[in-house]
Amino acid sequence: MKILILVLLLASLMLGANALDVRVTQSNGGSGVVVDTSSAANVDDFVDQEIKANPSSGELASSYSFSGPGSSYRAVYGRYGGYARSGFTITGSRAYTSYSFAVSSYPYAKVSESLSSQNAYNIFAYAYASSNNGNQAMAKINVYSPANNAYLSGYSNTAYATSSTVQVSQKSSYARAYSSSGVITTDLWAIRSRYSGIKTTMSPSYIKDSSEVMAKMSYYPILGTYPITWAATAAATSTNTYAQQGIYAYAQPIYTTEYAKKYGYSGILRTQTNYGTHKLGQSAYTTSSSYGVKYPHWA
């Protein structure tokens, strides 16, 4: 078993913006891992990246850190089907970010991301999966603070896709946007497609059945873990879709949406608003014979 370790260290010594672009292509008996990453660093900022590749197993892992604004993603096609992508975008000159990725192409497509960022203007992270039969799913979080103190800690997501099934998930230990104009939004959706073929545009297309849950928290919002851990999942199979999450949060207000639509039927949409500190659960689903949503459980 051969293991390739690549360590890249870039110190920014020039005025103006600098950028790091890395492409790694790895083949394994017909399977492939394609990784794209880019990060823009400001004056006197730095990037530090480590990439570890295991060609015999079709796996690749990397860790990375930088200050200032930047973005990165990993994308992979599975040997026997599926497409998975995970990434983030950070804005704000004071931001400091660290993250890691793990990528696998065998037997199917899988990308996992871990991310922590602080003192940012905006933090956006996502996981996306698409299967050969056209099914898609996406999980994303956005933390916005015009006071440049957006904070996201212990965040992780996973995108997984086979030839017919997709699943995405995300969670974090803590997030906040400590500003009167601060906003935290989490959004998950899954669809069954009317047409086959892998989609890479990260937006629903040719929708047959769909499920979505969303929570938007405003005014000094905090997304915490006590007494429950925020966990969110969306998936689609050949017959079903679902999206669900449970969160514990403070905001003024917390606005939630649950939506489910089955092909040939009118959709079901539920919205609700509450204020203060609450724990809640959201769920939307479709099956071969039914569809529906569950009201948030507020406590």
Taking a C-beta distance cutoff of 8 angstroms, is the pair 181, 169 a contact?
Answer: no
What is the model's pTM?
0.84
Taking a C-beta distance cutoff of 8 angstroms, is the pair 154, 97 a contact?
Answer: no
Torsion angle (degrees, nearest 10) of CA 162, 284, 144, 73: 0
Q: What is the pLDDT of residue 152?
A: 97
Q: What is the pLDDT of residue 58?
A: 54
List the chain domain ranges. 4-294
Q: Which candidate, 7, 5, 33, places its Cα nearest to that of 20?
A: 7
Q: What is the pLDDT of residue 63?
A: 82
**Residue 30 region by backbone torsions, left for phi larger than 0, else alpha for psi between -120 and 50, else beta:** left
CA angle (190, 173, 260) in 5-degree steps = 20
The whole-angstrom separation of Cα 240 and Cα 10 is: 46
Find how far residue 281's CA is from the centre of its chain: 19
Q: Which candidate, 51, 37, 38, 40, places its Cα nearest to that of 12?
A: 40
Q: Considering Cα of 91, then 93, then 95, then 101, what sign does the dihedral take?
A: positive
For 232-268, letters b (16+ CB in 10 Å) and e give bbbbbbeebbbbbbbbbbbbebbebbbbbbbeeeeee
Q: Which candidate, 191, 187, 122, 125, places its Cα nearest to that of 157?
A: 125
pLDDT tens digits for the chain (299 residues)? 333 333 333 333 333 333 444 444 443 333 444 444 444 444 333 444 545 555 544 556 678 899 999 999 999 999 999 999 999 999 999 999 999 999 999 999 999 999 999 999 999 999 999 999 999 999 999 999 999 999 999 999 999 999 999 999 999 999 999 999 999 999 999 999 999 999 999 999 999 999 999 999 999 999 986 666 678 999 999 999 999 999 899 999 999 999 999 999 999 999 999 999 988 889 999 999 999 998 766 65
Q: What is the pLDDT of residue 231?
A: 81
Q: How far is CA 85 from CA 93, 146, 160, 269, 292, in A?
A: 26, 28, 9, 28, 28
The whole-angstrom separation of Cα 116 and Cα 65 is: 10
